[in-house]
Amino acid sequence: MVEVQRLAAGLVGGVLAGRSLNAELAALWRRRAQSAARDRSAIQDLAYGTLRFLGWLEAVLEALLQKPLRDTRLRALLLVALYQLEHTRAAPHAVVDHAVRTCEVLGLASAKGLTNAVLRNFLRDRTALGARVQRLETARFCHPQWWIEKLRAQYPSHYAAALEADNLHPPLALRVNQRRVATETYLALLAQQGIRAEAIGETGVVLASPLPADRIPGLADGLVSVQDTAAQLAAPLLDLRDGMRVLDACAAPGGKTTHALELADVDLVALDSDERRLERVHANLARLGLNARVVCGDAAESGTWWDGKPFERVLADVPCSASGVARRHPDIKWLRRAADVAQFAQVQRHMLDALWQLLGRGGKLLYATCSVFLEENGEQVAHFVERHPDATRLTLPALDDDPRLPAGQLLQTPRHDGFFYALLQKA
């Protein structure tokens, strides 16, 4: 546990210093390529859990300290240990003892007494401490205050449920490749192996309990792909037909690209500006036995890659705040700033204007984000239609049963992530 605590605290400390969790994990696994899968899972679980509940943990830690804690390594270690005590089944005495020993490993021997006192005081007063910090919204919802206030202003009837859903473990959803197997047949295959699951929509299957990728039946053979059920709405909304010329403008890692190709035999260009991320597009195409022209290029600067032939369909899954998928990437909550939303909106506006020029007359563009903020979604689309008289926003089938939500908006729930869709047609 000492090594697991130390490495998890290092990951958390990296995020608190402003670095992304994905980057920190990638660097850690490069240094520790031989780490056992069990150790990797334990380290990752502690880091994700600590960041998921960081608002509550920080409030509790502040209440336990008599003066501000300056050492960032010690702070991260205490946050990880508090998470273990509150949210895991690890024996409390073992968590405390190992945290004290981890201090020594980190070169913080002088902090052993403080670490022991803080964690034992938490165990003694945890009920009272929990009740006290719950009065703070950042502790109760485990989100930064600006995020809470923005959601409350934009979704007064839904914000609390959306914030709470952000703190759940994300569901493991699969998309069944209808070219290979019917959804009912795949569910029967799961049942034969004792794996409980339920169908969501025509192609979605949600597992009752998560599984490692190598234990998901048929994944390696292309029977299914891992994809949230809200993300699975994109390809069907494009209204694809065989022979169409299609652009997936921000394709990596390839989930929506491959779904489109599973639905119809289209001439598809999978575009992304990140060469390394395009490797995953190639891998997913190969796994599923599908073909597309994979291109590295900037969707907002078509001069370097576009052949001048208009597309009949464009999928614009644009860069965004990712506020709808924060439970999958809990560091997002603490790395994002309120000003970032407006900056993303500017990028989206520029990209939308550029992609519109590539769409043929009568063609359709599906605008998509994994954001829940209106500035990136409904407001962005409304401004676009004002700027482009040849654009009409088409009515989509109901994506959510709640009429109080804006058209095309899905907020995160225990069953799916937060997403937004708008379908635009060129006159």
Q: What is the DSSP string of 80-114?
A: HHHHHHHHS-S-HHHHHHHHHHHHHHTT-GGGHHH
The amino acid that residue 244 corresponds to is: M
What's the pLDDT score for residue 402?
83
CATH superfamily of this structure's domain 2-140: NusB-like (1.10.940.10)
How far CA 81 is from CA of 92, 100, 358, 407, in Å, comes to 9, 10, 53, 43
The predicted structure's pLDDT at residue 399: 85
Cβ partners under 8 Å of residue 135, min gap 6: none
Domain layout of the chain by residue ranges: 2-140, 172-226, 231-426
| Tokens representing residue 215 in the block | 């234990």
> Do 415 and 330 contact (CB within 8 A), yes or no?
no
Query: For residue 39, what pLDDT is reported?
Result: 86
With CA atoms as reference, report the closest residue to 227 among 268, 170, 296.
170
Q: For 73-201, where are the E strands, in sequence order?
A: 172-176, 197-200
363 touches 238 (CB < 8 A): no
**Quick check: is 296 catalytic?**
no
Q: How far apart are CA 122 and CA 127, in angstroms?
A: 9
What topology does CATH give the domain 172-226? Answer: Alpha-Beta Plaits (3.30.70)
- What 3-state DSSP class applies to 364? strand
- The overall longest dimension of the chain from CA atoms, in Å, is 71
Amino acid 343: pLDDT: 97
Q: How far apart are CA 10 and CA 105, in angstroms?
A: 12
Model-level pTM?
0.94
Say which residues have a Cβ less than 8 Å from residue 225's Cβ, sequence separation at least 6: 174, 175, 177, 219, 255, 258, 259, 284, 288
Which residue stretches of the chain have pLDDT < 70?
none
Architecture, CATH, for domain 231-426: 3-Layer(aba) Sandwich (3.40)
Q: Phi-psi bin for 200: left (phi > 0), alpha (psi -120 to 50), beta?
A: beta
Report which DSSP code applies to 296. E
Comparing CA positions, the residue from 353, 363, 369, 357 lying closest to residue 408 is 369
Strand bridging mode 293-296 / 391-394? unpaired
Could you tell me if 296 and 278 are in contact, meaning their C-beta atoms sit under 8 angstroms apart?
yes
Instruction: Tell me the backbone φ, ψ of residue 311, rounded to 5 degrees.
Output: -95, 145
In the chain, what is the straight-line distance between the N-terminal and C-terminal CA atoms, in Å? 62
Q: Say what the pLDDT of residue 122 is.
A: 97
Residue pLDDT, tens place only, 167-218: 999 999 999 999 999 999 999 999 999 999 999 988 999 999 999 999 999 9
Q: So what's the pLDDT on residue 75?
A: 97
Say which of 103, 142, 250, 370 is annotated catalytic.
370
Amino acid at position 39, single letter: D
Residue 336: what pLDDT?
97
